[in-house]
Amino acid sequence: MISYILRPIKLTDLNDLKALTQAMDASIASLPNDKNILQQRIELSLQSFAKKIKTPGKEYYLFALEYIPLKKIVGVSGISARIGEGTYFFAYERQKEIFEHCPLNVSKTVEVLKLKKIKKGPSELCSLYLSPQFRVHGLGSLLSLSRYLFINTFPDRFDTELIADMKGYRDKDGNSPFWEAIGDVFFGGSLSTVDTMKSLGHKSFIRDLMPRHPIYIPLLPLKAQEAIGEVHTASKPALHLLEKQGFKTGKWFDIFDAGPYATAKRKDINLIKNIRHATVSQIAQANKEVSFKPFLIANDSLDFKVCTGNLSKHPNDTATIDVNIAQALNLKEGSSISYVKH
């Protein structure tokens, strides 16, 4: 039997999602612990799945990992179709400026952070969280990597570049040295509040309150300098998964905590390059007559479902699948599927 399946979130998941956000401790700004906002996020996701799309826009797709025996969701992951759609996406870019004075034989290279205002930017992998007691048996990979199957099946819904915002460094007391050096001076309030406002699309305050000149890195306190590009301990496993897929950091940094953005061209992502499509030619019981191998398997439908299961691939782009997979993904003979090793 299949115990776990990834699928689009539903309104009936609202209470489970609320329980998950209570455990997140404000770690995911796009999913605050507010029932009304969470309901709005679910409704936006449902609208996004239902839309006919020619080019990516403001769509937001939220997936739930369901533990089938309890009919309970234990994790979520999301994709924002395009950042900077309808409003700017803000990030810091590290650059170098050269200061020279020939008579004194002085030449200095100084690193600066310059504010980037990006319109119609990349698609963003976001809203990833798995309940701690379920961080076993590769469920984190199922939750994270399944999104690539959806992106590959519906490429018109997404940009050719993907981005992921990594939570920045916090000290042992949970404080962000970069926020204390820059953000708190100009914004006030708490980092979690402004981060949530940014994630939910309320960005006019950034335009009005951000410093209007480049930030000269050597002028910052040493701890703030060291925090630039450093990842929060809790986010290191997620960054490791991204790096295994070909994502790189160092291009852009979060304007509030200086955490890095991981970026990759869609065509260069390792898992996407290895995805294969097939038609289900047979549904069989697992037995000695069929040589099954484990894959991530998805139905090629907007009623998107993914699970880890057994499949036997054939040379003519057809495949035999386990009956349990067919039941979990609502497949029949002739159905189209995507699959990939992970």
**3-class SS string, 83-107:** CCCCCCEEEEEEEEEEEEEHHHCEE
Q: Which residue has the tokens 């907007």?
A: 302
What pLDDT shows up at residue 260? Answer: 97
What pLDDT shows up at residue 189? Answer: 74
136-150 pLDDT tens trace: 888 999 999 999 999
Is a pLDDT exceeding 90 seen at residue 181?
A: yes
Angle at the Cα of 19 (from 14 to 23), degrees rounded to 5?
140
Catalytic residue, chosen from 137, 232, 240, 342, is 232
Q: Which of 281, 310, 271, 292 is nearest to 146 (CA)?
A: 271
Instruction: Give the number of other CB atoms < 10 A from CB of residue 185.
Output: 11
3-state secondary structure of 305: coil
Domains delineated in the chain: 4-81+121-181+188-197+218-271 (3.40.630.30), 276-340 (2.40.40.20)
Instruction: Give the number of other CB atoms < 10 A from CB of residue 106.
Output: 9
> Mean pLDDT over residues 107-118, rounded?
92
Distance (Å, whole) CA 54 – CA 61: 16
As beta bridge partners, residue 110 has 97
Distance (Å, whole) CA 60 – CA 85: 12
154 and 302 in contact (C-beta within 8 Å)?
yes
The pTM for the full model equals: 0.91
CA distances from 183 to 177, 215, 254 (A): 10, 12, 11
41-67 pLDDT tens trace: 999 999 999 999 989 999 999 999 999
What pLDDT shows up at residue 285? Answer: 80
pLDDT band at 202 (very low <50, low <70, confident <90, very high): low
pLDDT band at 290 (very low <50, low <70, confident <90, very high): low
Is a pLDDT exceeding 80 seen at residue 193?
A: no
pLDDT band at 293 (very low <50, low <70, confident <90, very high): low
314: annotated active-site residue: no
Alpha helix ranges (H) inside the chain: 14-24, 35-50, 139-153, 177-178, 184-186, 191-199, 204-209, 222-227, 236-244, 270-274, 323-329
20 and 76 in contact (C-beta within 8 Å)?
yes
